[in-house]
Amino acid sequence: MLVVRADDGESYESNLTLLDVEQTRPSLKAYLSEVTGFDANAILCFLSDGTQLRNENLRELAGVEDQTIYVFNREYLDLPVDQILADLVVEPQLQPEVDGM
């Protein structure tokens, strides 16, 4: 299973499947909180086809082939847009100079 933090694109490979999470963890959001660092109460999670994942439909969706989960931080919905943009700005990594320029 691949877990992707939607705010910065950081991805985490997990050996667990959705069924494993359903059977071995207290909740899906608790597990995703461990992986992403988001507060469990602020997590919105979706499969790559747009289906929202919840504890109630986890067993039903456990057999899907593409187990990529996109995790969104709901806290961003309550903040002013300017603050969100400031928080999400990612500075580009410095590249080595190109000779002859």
Q: What is the pLDDT of residues 28-85, one digit of tens each?
A: 899 999 999 999 999 999 988 888 988 888 878 877 888 899 999 888 777 777 876 7
In a domain, 42, yes or no: yes
At 44, which CATH number? 3.10.20
In a domain, 93, yes or no: no
- Is it the case that residue 98 has pLDDT exceeding 90? no
Domain region containing 27: 2-88
- Is it the case that residue 13 has pLDDT exceeding 90? yes
Radius of gyration of the chain (CA): 17
Whether 79 and 42 have beta carbons less than 8 Å apart is answered as no
In a domain, 76, yes or no: yes
pTM over 0.85: no
Whole-number pLDDT of residue 20: 87
Whole-number pLDDT of residue 80: 78
Whether 51 and 58 have beta carbons less than 8 Å apart is answered as no
In a domain, 38, yes or no: yes
Sign of the four-CA dihedral 13, 17, 23, 28: positive
What's the total number of domains in the chain?
Answer: 1
Q: What angle do CA 23, 44, 19 make, to 5 degrees?
A: 20
Rounded Cα gap, residues 87 and 101, in angstroms:
34
In a domain, 69, yes or no: yes
